[in-house]
Amino acid sequence: MTSREYILVFSDDSTEFPFGRTTRQVFDVLDFGDSAYALDSNIIFISTEKNIEALTEKIRASRIGGEHFFVADIGDTSRAGNMTPKFWDFLRSKDALTSAA
């Protein structure tokens, strides 16, 4: 199967998570072979074979997302923008693995 890239964004609701959300909690929801790049605890890029509905349900069932989060597919975009080099390295390494398969 082909990996898909998503952006996962949580609301910054300090009343819902008074001690903060850790990126480790998000990574624990992923399956073996999935990967993620966290900008902070609220914005995480995920590469997985799951479709968007399955990923959303897994996050919802874990309750780490609370009631306020969204997942968007970024795999079909041109990926233009002014992002940190580490993020681009993450996406390029996925592109290299995908094209080699």
Question: 4-100 in CATH: which number?
Answer: 3.30.70
Query: So what's the pLDDT on residue 67?
Result: 66
Query: So what's the pLDDT on residue 15?
Result: 47
Mean pLDDT by 10 residues, the chain (101 residues): 85 53 75 86 87 90 75 75 73 59 45
CA gap 42, 39 in Å, rounded: 8
pTM for this prediction: 0.70
Query: So what's the pLDDT on residue 100?
Result: 45
Query: So what's the pLDDT on residue 74?
Result: 86
- Domain boundaries along the sequence of the chain: 4-100
**CA-to-CA dists, residue 36 to 4, 6, 7, angstroms:** 11, 9, 10
